Amino acid sequence: MYDETTTYESDTSDAGFRIDPVLARSWLLVNGAHYGKFEAASRSRADIVVLDIEDAVAPKDKVAARDNVVRWLGPKDAPGAGDSRPARSAPGAGAGEWVRINGFGTPWWADDLEALSTTALGGVMLAMVESVDHVTETAKRLPDVPIVALVETARGLERISEIAAAKGTFRLAFGIGDFRRDTGFGDDPATLAYTRSRFTIAAKAAHLPSAIDGPTVGSSALKLSEATAVSAEFGMTGKICLSPDQCAPVNDGLSPSQDEISWAKEFFAEFERDGGEIRNGSDLPRIARATKILDLARAYGITASDYEDEPVHQPAPSDTYHY
């Protein structure tokens, strides 16, 4: 079960900023039974806030948590809907809060969808996805609402390519805790390498944004930094967060670094000095990589550092930053 236990303190710098969920790095789960935490979460550094009415909520509290979420989201298309919530710096697509709903076949799935269908919903994270039907049936009841398919079992992993290609799937997410319980796997990155690779390959083959990795339990900054680096190494461009203080480190770890931005700028300067013509077979991949790094830096509001004393030749980064 993923539930946040740390205190929710608002980070007022860049508070409430939201970006296009295609590019979202930090996906903050917030216990739907704790209405008092919603506002602080909405003012956090999370790229996407996900109000959780699934694993974080005991069965006896499911209805109350759902009611909390419906009240917070407000009615769909109502004049001034959501005005009581903090303003976003970049409203855009998917700017409304998301909701992690109960899995297909549970006693709460249908009621979750019925209640949310009338709200100003950004999207849903569908728990325990194990087949295409889980996504398509959800999409039928929530038309035009993006669905993150949370794959959490061996059965789901075996069908992940089909799930990624299903009509209605927006992104894939890795439910690490339940997957480890289902399979008996440990949490060593090498143990889960095959699983993470399957997520990335399935997403890429289905022309989806890259997958969202599962959360890191605990508050150790070093542990979170190392885990986020593993996510990036496997081509995953998002990560579930369990508390607001995890969001900024995750955003940093899944964004282009200053070294990568410097390399991209240096490469284009060199390319233009050489006439702007393709020189060899490595130029096109490097152009694509440099373009993606700079596009992401702009999307995330990252600027090049002004504190480098002397220009230093930067090696090409290994991460190609898949959209």
Averaged pLDDT of the chain: 87
Looking at residue 102, what DSSP letter applies?
A: P
Give the tens place of pLDDT for each residue, 275-319.
Answer: 888 888 898 999 999 999 999 999 999 876 633 444 444 555 554
What residues pair up with 150 in beta bridges, in sequence order? Answer: 173
Q: What share of the chain is helix, strand, coil (3-state, %, to 5)?
A: 40, 10, 50
Looking at residue 317, what is its pLDDT?
56
% of the chain surpassing 90 pLDDT: 75
Q: How far apart are CA 288 and CA 269, in angstroms?
A: 15
In this prediction, residues 57-70 reach a mean pLDDT of 97
Looking at residue 277, what is its pLDDT?
86
Q: How far apart are CA 202 and CA 171, in angstroms?
A: 10
- Least confident stretch, 25-39, 72-86, 152-166: 72-86
- Least confident stretch, 107-111, 147-151, 229-233, 277-281: 277-281
Q: How far apart are CA 229 and CA 97, in angstroms?
A: 26
- State phi, psi for 258 to the nearest 5 degrees: -60, -40
90 has pLDDT over 60: no
Q: What domains are defined for the chain? A: 26-253 (3.20.20.60), 255-323 (no CATH)
In a 3-state reduction of DSSP, which class is residue 247?
Answer: helix
In this prediction, residues 137-166 reach a mean pLDDT of 98
202 has pLDDT over 50: yes
In this prediction, residues 78-96 reach a mean pLDDT of 43
* Residues 209/23, Cβ–Cβ less than 8 Å: yes
* Residues 122/88, Cβ–Cβ less than 8 Å: no
Q: How far apart are CA 140 and CA 168, in angstroms?
A: 9
Nearest Cα residue to 99 out of 47, 29, 15, 168: 29
111 has pLDDT over 70: yes
Banded model confidence at residue 11, pLDDT cuts 50, 70, 90: very low
Amino acid letter, 210 = S
7 has pLDDT over 70: no
Looking at residue 220, what is its pLDDT?
87
In this prediction, residues 155-169 reach a mean pLDDT of 98
